[in-house]
Amino acid sequence: MVSIEEDPDEIRLHMLSRSKSFCCPKCGEELRKLHATHHRTVQDLPILGKRVFLDIRVHDFQCQNPICEIGAFSETFHGFLNHYSRMTERLIDFVTILALETSCEASARIMQAMHVKISGDTVIRMLLKRYQTQSHIPCGSHIGVDDFAFKKRHTYGTIIVDENSHIPVAVLEGRDGSALKAWLTQNKQVTTVTRDCASAYAKAVEEILPDCMQIADRFHLHQNLLEAVKSVINSTVPVDIKIPKDAALPYAETAVSDTLVESSKKNV
């Protein structure tokens, strides 16, 4: 730590690397000769509701090995700061965990309230970079399949959930059924699929697992029932139902007279 600057909205920490040597990432040779320095400004977790920036003076080294082709390079801070990153690893960890618990847009709004300048698209890029590979999760024989939007009206995907544990087991690209076919080919133990009314999913399941039972999910079942009831009513009941004025008079006169009688009894 070299110095600290503070104002009502921001804290800036000036830092200097204390490394005296560094190993070449290409050939592994230890280097002690400093080639140059440069400054990196990265954002860290906020302190007392203020933005925190780290102004780090980073050492540049040049490999002296004649057969090494790397040339000059900057030292790295593994576990704390990655190459070309504008945020510390602990800040990125906080943002990605928050995004997984809420959503990308919601986490971006929360971070902006904490004085961390970030957008929903940046959060998505963080998640894609950090979770490039999807860990294998064992799946049972009963699954639910539905589509979702990576970006509404632009890019869609398919999510598969284990119906017994209610845990997502796979996230696939597209919703045309091709990715689902490939997944079902490797998961022949599936005997029941709960899905929406999309024909792409129905054809994929029927083609790969012809003996598998397909069940319409509750939401779409109720939706289809409501549409069927509306269709029957619209085809049976006329659009305009006219009530003659004369037909309503006897009831209105009787109702008024009954009300007057009741009120007179109370007053007596």
Mean pLDDT of 53-63: 83
- Angle, CA 239 vertex, CA 236 and CA 244 arms, to 5°: 105
At 91, the pLDDT band (50, 70, 90 cuts) reads very high
Mean pLDDT of 228-255: 70
The per-residue pLDDT for range 124-172, each reduced to its tens digit, is 988 888 876 566 677 889 999 999 988 888 889 999 999 988 888 888 8
Asked if residue 116 is part of any domain, the answer here is: yes
Q: Is 238 found in the same domain as 206? A: yes
Q: What pLDDT does 256 receive?
A: 47
Mean pLDDT of 209-225: 87
Residue 199 has pLDDT above 90, yes or no: no
Asked if residue 166 is part of any domain, the answer here is: yes
The per-residue pLDDT for range 167-192, each reduced to its tens digit, is 888 888 888 889 999 999 999 999 99
Residue 123's identity, in one-letter code, is: V
Q: Is 115 found in the same domain as 80? A: yes
- Structural domain containing residue 67: 3-130
Residue 169: closest CA among 182, 156, 184, 159: 159
Residue 230 to residues 197, 220, 222, 223, 236: CA-CA distances in angstroms?
Answer: 19, 15, 12, 11, 10
Domain-ending residue, one of 130, 160, 181? 130
Asked if residue 32 is part of any domain, the answer here is: yes
Residue 225 has pLDDT above 80, yes or no: yes
Scanning the structure block, which residue is given the tokens 């490939």?
A: 182
Q: Is 156 found in the same domain as 39? A: no
Residue 42 has pLDDT above 60, yes or no: yes
Mean pLDDT of 206-230: 88
Tally of domains in the chain: 2
Q: What pLDDT does 76 receive?
A: 75
Q: Is 154 found in the same domain as 238? A: yes
Q: Is 141 found in the same domain as 102? A: no
Three-state secondary structure readout of 75-114:
CCECCCECCCCCECHHHHHHHHHHHHHCCHHHHHHHHHHC
Asked if residue 254 is part of any domain, the answer here is: yes
What CATH number is given to the structural domain containing 202?
3.30.420
Q: Is 95 found in the same domain as 148? A: no
Mean pLDDT of 231-259: 66
Asked if residue 194 is part of any domain, the answer here is: yes
Asked if residue 267 is part of any domain, the answer here is: no
Rounded to two decimals, what is the model's pTM? Answer: 0.53
Q: Is 155 found in the same domain as 105? A: no
